[in-house]
Chains A and B, each alone.
Chain A
Amino acid sequence: MAITAKAPSSFWRKGDGVSWLQVTPLVVVLGVFLLVPIATIVIVSFWDYDSVRLIPSFIIDNYTDALGSAVTWHTYLSTLKFAVITWIFTVSIGFTVAYFLAFQVRTALWQMVLFQICAIPFLTSNIIRMISWVPFLGRNGLLNQALQGLHITDHPLEFLLFSDFSVILAFVHLYTLFMVVPIFNTMMRIDRRLIEAARDGGANALAVLTNVIIPLSLPGIAIGTIFVVTLVMGDFITVRLMSGGQSASVGLLMSNEISLLQYPAAAAQAVVLLITVLIMVFLILRVVDIRKEL
């Protein structure tokens, strides 16, 4: 790089070459792994298909089929429902855990120890963490046996597994840490003198929380929200396994289409989902300026 920088260039001013070189790896990575695949998906979404072939052409049927179908709307609604409910739980749990770690735990050592403990479940794969719920929640599972053994119920509770309940439970379990980490990170940066000042000014604990800590934690909450929302919106395996295939999500819709070689239809769905999620992220960023964080 040093050599290129010194080499005189007739086209670029000295120094420009270095910038170009510096930016090249990122451009190449983003180009090859992000832009080209997305462009391909967009192109294929306008193609025609039959049961075995993709037929290059330019039709908008894939979009009219997708957007004109009640199934798509229903599925988006149900996926959004999962996203909103999961968000409510992850943000409340995530905020509480982060608050505890940041403000209640006094020593940095214990903060780190407890923070690592939060991450321990992530040493196993996400599928395993999800599947483990199945024997626990099943009709003859541990929870039902315990409830009946304690005479709390006299019959197995069926809603525990293969239901929206189990899907959301798994989502919350899987994604809460994605909330904890950014919120904890933001909270640690809050200048403690602000809290002292608030107290000196006569604010009680609740007022400190709502007027100081929450507003200053917003960037972390926003980043966590982006993680959770995009993960839930794009998910297909959690919904399939935990609902026993009885609920739909947008990702599952696409996966079904792909498995039947209907790539253009799946590509159109992907483009619609991408736009939807981008709009959601855009809105989140409009509300919260996450650059304050960085």
Chain B
Amino acid sequence: MTKATGITRRRALKSAAALGGIAAGSGAISGFPTIWAQNIKNITLRQFGTGVSNLNAVADKVKQDLGFTLQMTALDTDAVTQRAVTQPKSFDIADIEYFICKKVYPAGVLQPMDVKKMKNYDKIVPIFITGKLTPDSVIAQGTAPHTVGFVESKTSTKFAKQPTEWMTLIPTIYNADTLGIRPDLVPHPVTQWKDLLDPTFKGKASILNISSIGIMDAAMACESAGLMKYKDKGNMSRAEIDKTMAVLTEAKKSGQFRAFWKTFDESVNLMASGEVVIQSMWSPAVAAVRSKGIACKFQPLKEGYRAWGGGLGIAKHLSGIELDAAYDYINWYLSGWVGAYLNRQGYYSAVLETAKANMTPAEWDYWMEGKPAATDILSPEGKVMEKAGAVRDGGSFTERMGHIACWNSVMDEDKYMVQQWNGFIAA
């Protein structure tokens, strides 16, 4: 049934495009709104992705600024992958993580984006282009975004080694993750990943039960404890997987872990209730615990952060006026309003310059420069997140994103790893 309506809609759009031939035909997009206002109102782009960036505020602002309708569907990470691959006609814009892109793009469900049509391409944070934040940065392990950020040609599904004209995803949101702790309940300062396995926290530690991310946190802890040395934590060999899982299984059997969490809310509840005092965590979850008046710290660690990043990709089936609208949306996304919104939530946005223009100096200093807050820091919804004088955990953008140890990833031995992870959970 959806298929049928889709075709009718597309047919209607085609005739609309024929009327507005000049607008749709040229293809040269130089600003927005570029498409005839009459046609664009009828367009609906269906975007789906993880909850973090599927924000209704963005859809509302799109309607206001660009005129078309953006329909958002939020799913969990696994469901996003499934839907992208198995129902490629069910979406127009995919908001996915880079490591998912490594799985999804080769399935041929997305089309690459022409960098020439992106107004702010040159201003995108270089992590996503060359992999290096500064020219002398070391590229982190795992599925670094730039390794799956480009394809060789418009029709290729093979990832390019160097930046090309064809981008798979435009980066939208990313962050550096670390362990969250309850500073009031830990008996000694937590400084390294190995503290996750420290017997002091027996029965009070947790790790997330999303195999691809959980194993990375485990690997960080194993390496930090000197139990393992990895060639690439993001692409382990079977032997490395076996050893890592053996360490984890032993810790589990000796009662190190209180629970394993799978959703955002679970991680917040574990921490807020004091069931757990040290665990893998996400930045907004830390903020959520703190908003209950409970001390919680996103503790920077000596070995560095585990980073993740997401971006927008365009579905293969998109063409004509809808494709143009998608490009408008992407250009708008990088033009600053969303960037500021995301930065205010504690994430990072892809084009810093435009985001800065949409933030107050106090906000910019707190979130991006790691300076003490000059005024109270408000969330995008206007709630007080931090009082004046607070300093962001981990400091400035360069301090945090400059200390990435590895990126979320998909391994070649993915299938094997999942089997072992299931074994660990069952152990």
Contact = CB atoms under 8 A, between A and B. Distances in A.
A binds B: yes
Interface string A139-159: 111000000000000000010
B414 A245 contact: no
A253 B274 contact: no
Interface string A215-251: 0000000000000000000000000100111111000
Nearest to B76: A259
Task: State the majority secondary structure of interface residues on A.
Answer: loop
B273 A139 contact: yes
A261 B81 contact: yes
Interface stretch (A20-28, A71-79, A206-214): A71-79
B273 A135 contact: yes
A262 B415 contact: yes
Contacts of A248: 422, 425-426
Contacts of B418: 256-257, 260, 262
Interface string B251-281: 0100001111110000001100111000000
Contact of B274 (A134, A140, A256): A140
Interface in A235-294: 240, 243-248, 252-253, 256-257, 259-262
B82 A138 contact: no
B57 interface: no
Contacts of B427: 74
A181 interface: no
Interface stretch (B99-107, B141-149, B326-334, B389-397): B99-107
B423 interface: yes
Query: Which among A78, A134, A139, A256 has the highest number of chain B CB atoms within 10 Å?
Result: A256
A74 B260 contact: no
Interface in A22-64: 50-53
A51 B143 CA distance: 15
B78 interface: yes
B426 A78 contact: yes
B275 A74 contact: no
Interface string A158-170: 1001100000000
B203 interface: yes
A253 B211 CA distance: 13
A69 B426 CA distance: 12
Nearest to A158: B203
Contacts of B82: 259, 261
B258 A252 contact: no
Contacts of A117: none
Contact of A162 (B81, B103, B258, B422): B258
A113 interface: no
B268 to A, nearest CB: 13
A246 B425 contact: yes
B45 to A, nearest CB: 24
A161 B260 contact: no
B419 interface: yes
A70 interface: yes
A37 B282 CA distance: 38
B107 A75 contact: no
Contact of B260 (A53, A244, A259): A244
Contact of B262 (A50, A138, A140, A245): A245
Interface in B222-275: 252, 257-262, 269-270, 273-275
23 contacts: A51-B410, A52-B85, A53-B107, A65-B419, A69-B423, A71-B426, A74-B427, A134-B273, A138-B275, A140-B273, A140-B275, A158-B203, A161-B275, A243-B259, A244-B206, A244-B260, A244-B261, A245-B209, A245-B425, A247-B426, A256-B211, A259-B82, A260-B78
Identify the 4 closest CB pairs spanning chains A and B, nearest first: A244-B259, A245-B260, A248-B426, A259-B78
